[in-house]
Amino acid sequence: MSDLLSAPHAPAEQPLVLKVASVVRYRFFLYAGLLPYLLGAGWAYGVEKIFRPGTFWLGLFGIFLSVVGVESFNEYFDAKMGTDRVFNPDADEYIPEWMFPLGVAAFAVAAAIGFYLAWAGGWPIVLYTLLGGGAAVFYVGPPIRWVYLGLGETVIALSYGPWMTLGSVHLHTHHFSWGALLASLVPGLLIMSLAVVNNIPDYHQDRLVGKKNLVVRLGRKKGRYLYLALSALGLFVVVGGVLAGIFPKSSVFAAAIGLPLWWRSLVAGRETWDTPRLFVPAVRAIVQCYAVATAVFALVVAFGR
């Protein structure tokens, strides 16, 4: 076992439930996993007029397990690569021995749920399961490591945009929807923006450990322009869908609520993009923009007119 896994200063023993809870950050589950899934279910209920409660809850459990796997693998492989110790190499980072097996087990059960749902809902569920699983397992895990190839943000956008939203819709309707695909671009673009802005404070350590994310490739200043453009485009998709008659007219409230948060991030990051601690409010505003705009959009799609 590696030195990281056998670090001498391990934390005190905790109950298993608390150990798992410490791995799964509830904010990540809310922002990344829950909202696109709810958007898909909302589209099925409000637009397609089809909703399967049992399937919804089983799929939600599968999403939860996938997030457990993502978080476990991210923590484990980031520690193995030393990403979080670049500027403090003597830091004693403890990674429990059960972290990697937990991720494997979570992904395995999530895949089993996906294949079971596919048996009832059709082969596209298998496709969405495999695409999402490949993105999650190999985001930082070998042999692919998407984030080290410069494809991390794109993989995140596809996973938590079209793949998850369309997969959620298909669980209920058993067919593809072009309107749902357009709707999936809202969380997809917004969460890609979130991934980009989150990498700006980590620019130096990511560069030193070999991560070739978009901020490392473009630089922090251009990365700032990119995340603002992506999030603005995500909000514009809502307006465009309303004007085209694809989304309920009240969907415009999602863009109206998200725009002030987008502006707050623009202002907060205007002079602080090269100072990580001072840039935190800009990151926080985009997180809020994604969460609020996507949540309101999902609610309006499900219940609005």
Task: Examine residue 6 and state whether it is found in any structural domain, yes or no.
Answer: no
Which residue segment(s) compose the domain that 108 sits in? 16-303
Q: Average of pLDDT values for 260-281?
A: 91
**Predicted local confidence at residue 64, as pLDDT:** 84
**Predicted local confidence at residue 106, as pLDDT:** 86
**Predicted local confidence at residue 7, as pLDDT:** 38
Task: Examine residue 140 and state whether it is found in any structural domain, yes or no.
Answer: yes
What lies within 8 Å, CB to CB, of 292 at 6+ separation is 257, 258, 261
What lies within 8 Å, CB to CB, of 100 at 6+ separation is 72, 73, 76
pLDDT at residue 187 tops 90 = yes
- Report the run of H or E that residue 289 belongs to, with start and end: helix 276-303
Task: Examine residue 1 and state whether it is found in any structural domain, yes or no.
Answer: no
For the segment 46-69, what is each residue's pLDDT rounded down to a tens digit? 999 999 999 999 999 988 888 788
Task: Examine residue 263 and state whether it is found in any structural domain, yes or no.
Answer: yes
For the segment 198-255, what is each residue's pLDDT rounded down to a tens digit? 889 988 888 887 788 889 899 989 999 999 999 999 999 999 999 999 999 999 999 9
Task: Examine residue 55 and state whether it is found in any structural domain, yes or no.
Answer: yes
* CATH number for the domain harbouring residue 81: 1.10.600
**Predicted local confidence at residue 11, as pLDDT:** 44
For the segment 113-166, what is each residue's pLDDT rounded down to a tens digit? 988 888 877 788 888 878 877 777 677 667 777 778 878 888 889 988 999 999
Q: Work out how many domains the chain is built from and give that number.
A: 1
Task: Examine residue 4 and state whether it is found in any structural domain, yes or no.
Answer: no
